[in-house]
Structure 1
């Protein structure tokens, strides 16, 4: 038999009451049972943490510094997961295996996917294609119209059509917003803005500022302001090089003469004399440059006044607009664009109105195409859910998907309402008006059963979806879960023996106290142990021959 996508192993360490446990899940329907408070939902909580839920240090087992969770997924068709990994710049799954790990300490949370560190958003993105989780109160999502529309579109495989519509709607909405912005500027305010921007732009452009000019102005101003000091330093430097009895030039000259005389005794002295000759030329050149440069640093009062005004101008502009010249010039470009925008407002409005009209036509065309496909899918979805509900005890129940036309919105041009008539002779009512949580839970299971045939999410998790049902209905719920388990892997927590008996794999969670510490454990049940657990669910802790026999019959009936 072809291998399925599935969660093969979940390992938990030091999480709440769990010391250390590892669960080997199987294909089909995996049921988890146990007494209230034993820690069944803790397993689902651990899985939620691996798929991006927020964590806090209170989850760490008392006395420990960290807790850890690891899940291993075996993927026969890893394309969806690999697409997510590729989008995130990560390597694809090797041999279809995906390992997600998370470690939580008092100060941090660290996550890994196939040994690569990742963020919580990565875990959430993977969770969207790996697991569909349904908790005790998640059936309330069925009452929201946005969730109902998502269900219809998923059933009808309308994702591409909806994405095409949304793309066109975003263009239309952007033009709508732009027109609204233009309309919100009154004429008096518009004139004030134009005058202010015009004045600011003129002030900066007339100043002819630039980063290069600012630096040159600063340097020249500083040099002229310190001209006397510069001249004195230059004379001192030049004097030390070439003037005076003890100048460098005189010392180098004496050294060169001495080396020339050494030549007759030490031939290498000729090279020394030559190098000293070069040093003499260098000293003379540097001295000349210093004297020339020092004498050039002078200016009349007009130049000094110009530089002082220029420096003051730069300071003023920085105080008024921005701390640096580059930021002032960026503002200048922004203001020019804004001024052009305001001065051409009427022309823009005419252009945008024309673009908006064209965008509305495209949006409506895409919306009508999406609506037509939704209408066809709505009939099929209603029939499919009705059939599932009849398997779940609503023999005369009817389900309806009603679509009403509306103006373009982000989700399309339809409003949706799920309707339900649980019994013969009752009128169709909106699903949100049904008070019974047991009824809502069965409707949710029917929806999941229908969608399971259309989606590629490998794992469905149900945490007490069978709450508030019992008797023959519980048996129907168990059979429906087992039926879905033929195409998907399911993990369900249940208190109902009828549902537990339908599992292809059965785990029991228990709690014990050792050395004054509480421990949660989980065990795979087979044969006698499974019969005893189902009997406990039927009649309590005190097992009798009657409850054991009943449990055995319940399990035997599900195998037929």
Structure 2
């Protein structure tokens, strides 16, 4: 609820403080007194785009402060939370406009952008009038209004959940298809490469082992020749035979040597043992160097094949086995992906069917409640002297989305047989005001905690029709706050709180002010609205009758 509006140095207002109340607040006054300036000032502090030059002549800056009461669940709190602005039960908006045109805004003493102000205004205030393009005349909001009238929260939640599931299923299918296409593009390469690698079957560390074996075999021929020569010198025709002859000759002479040859004979025995061990080691070495002549060729071929494969795929020889596993995994993903895609496409069909069912249920309920809304609006139009007009909620197919697959628009035909069309295109000024009022009365539960402002919505009507307008505005105000700028005495008489906007000249400067009216002053003001500048007894009597009616 808008509790207070403080205006300083804007247009023809030097200082003005208004304390608005719950219920129906009416503002009256002569044409040009400044009633529209109040709306311009409120629009300024709410971030609406309006007049370019607002600062009062001679002032350095203009300033507007608006104070709102917020309930614990007021939707403005979500905007404040997103903007990081703390708030209790009171919301204070302040905006300053310098004479040079610079604008600065604060929300609860925190600097705020015009975007934040406008987002807050969507939750705080509704402005309705003949040039209303933000509220009921905006077709983009008609679907939400119908859903609010019908109480479609659960159905819309179902549709949105189904839409999210459908969108997720579509993304999964698209991603799987893209991945499969990428793999299919190299499928032939993968299958050929895996076959080559499987045929080669490289092992970790095999390159180094083959290289060592190759080098050993390349040098084996020369080494074996040298070792064989040494073996021959150690064998029966070489060192062994010489040792044996020496031992035989010394052994024959030992009996005649008085023991002097015993030690040499023992040493030769030990030498014979060592010589035998040496012969065995050299023989083993010769056996180790004994290889098939084709083995070197085979070793080189495999080594070169492994290295060529590594160069082909741009990896190290030791990484070939791991690389082969990677390629096999990609092929397995391709084969498994076909199955995954089939399952995902089945899930997508189910998700689409679920969305279609939820959207169909919402569409059917919209059609049903559109008829109820049309009937409710038509019932409101009769007392407003528009019983021959036709109001219809048009529901047409739209692209599927999180809110279903319906487009909703409120249409009117002002005379029987006339074609229906958008509210703001078909109805005249007075008719449009009454259509908007009838529609708003039917949608009164649409948004809680919003201050509704009606700017001369009674223009072009009078008498019993104006009285019907006033009664409906009072009905709207029963559960909230309504501000009405009016020239109709019938409407003004229905107000719970009444202010008169008036101009006065002070020191050669025209200023506008707003005066709260007591009961007697209200009688005179409504009498003025009935009779003009000269207030008669009859006018006062008629004013009292309106106030008591």
Q: TM-score, normalised by structure 2?
A: 0.63
User: Do the aligned residues in 2 keep the contact of 1:134 with 1:461 (CA within 8 Å)?
Assistant: yes
- Residue 154 of structure 1 pairs with residue 143 of structure 2: no
- Residue 103 of structure 1 pairs with residue 92 of structure 2: no
Q: Give a deviation string over 1:2-58, Cα, whole Å, max 9, x none.
A: xxxx22211000111110000111221111112222211111111112222247762
- Residue 379 of structure 1 pairs with residue 349 of structure 2: no
Deviation at 1:168, TM superposition (A): 4.7
- 1:62 aligns with 57
Distance 1:109 1:421, change over 3 A: closer
- 2:34 aligns with 39
Which residue, out of 13, 21, 46, partners 2:8? 13
| Segment of structure 1 superposing worse, 348-357 or 141-150 | 348-357
- 1:74 aligns with 69
Q: Give a deviation string over 1:281-306, Cα, whole Å, max 9, x none.
A: xxxxxxxxxxxxxxxxxxxxxxxxxx
- 1:297 aligns with none
Distance 1:417 1:82, change over 3 A: closer
SS at 2:385 equivalent: coil
Distance 1:415 1:103, change over 3 A: closer
Rounded to whole Å, the distance in 1 between the matches of 2:49 and 2:394 is 37
Q: Give a deviation string over 1:481-540, Cα, whole Å, max 9, x none.
A: 112111121111112222122212111111222222221111112234323322332233
Rounded to whole Å, the distance in 1 between the matches of 2:376 and 2:73 is 29
Distance 1:40 1:360, change over 3 A: same
Which residue, out of 80, 85, 108, partners 1:85? 80
- 1:468 aligns with 460
User: Do the aligned residues in 2 keep the contact of 1:441 with 1:465 (CA within 8 Å)?
Assistant: yes
- 2:310 aligns with none
- 2:107 aligns with 113
Rounded to whole Å, the distance in 2 between the matches of 1:135 and 1:398 is 20
- 2:362 aligns with 370
SS at 2:503 equivalent: strand
Larger radius of gyration: 2
- 1:533 aligns with 525
- 1:137 aligns with 131
Which residue, out of 491, 498, 521, partners 2:483? 491
Rounded to whole Å, the distance in 1 between the matches of 2:40 and 2:470 is 23
Deviation at 1:396, TM superposition (A): 5.5
- 2:538 aligns with 549
Deviation at 1:445, TM superposition (A): 0.5
Deviation at 1:81, TM superposition (A): 3.5
Deviation at 1:459, TM superposition (A): 1.0
- 1:311 aligns with none
Q: How does 1:280-291 map to 2 (within 5 A)?
A: none
User: Do the aligned residues in 2 keep the contact of 1:419 with 1:428 (CA within 8 Å)?
Assistant: no
- 1:429 aligns with 420
Distance 1:160 1:44, change over 3 A: farther
User: Do the aligned residues in 1 keep the contact of 2:393 with 2:409 (CA within 8 Å)?
Assistant: yes
Rounded to whole Å, the distance in 1 between the matches of 2:44 and 2:157 is 30
5+ long unaligned stretches in structure 1? 1-5, 192-339
SS at 2:479 equivalent: coil
Distance 1:35 1:349, change over 3 A: farther
Q: How does 1:355-366 map to 2 (within 5 A)?
A: 357-366=349-358
SS at 2:30 equivalent: coil
SS at 1:59 equivalent: coil
Rounded to whole Å, the distance in 1 between the matches of 2:534 and 2:391 is 42
Rounded to whole Å, the distance in 1 between the matches of 2:458 and 2:175 is 52
SS at 1:377 equivalent: helix
Which residue, out of 445, 454, 463, partners 1:453? 445
Which residue, out of 36, 47, 53, partners 2:48? 53
- 1:331 aligns with none
Deviation at 1:391, TM superposition (A): 2.9
Deviation at 1:369, TM superposition (A): 2.5
Distance 1:500 1:139, change over 3 A: farther
Distance 1:356 1:64, change over 3 A: farther
- 1:312 aligns with none
The alignment's C-alpha RMSD in Å is 3.8
- 2:199 aligns with none
Deviation at 1:398, TM superposition (A): 4.8
Deviation at 1:404, TM superposition (A): 4.0
Rounded to whole Å, the distance in 2 between the matches of 1:140 and 1:75 is 22
Q: Give a deviation string over 1:280-333, Cα, whole Å, max 9, x none.
A: xxxxxxxxxxxxxxxxxxxxxxxxxxxxxxxxxxxxxxxxxxxxxxxxxxxxxx
Q: Give a deviation string over 1:232-280, Cα, whole Å, max 9, x none.
A: xxxxxxxxxxxxxxxxxxxxxxxxxxxxxxxxxxxxxxxxxxxxxxxxx
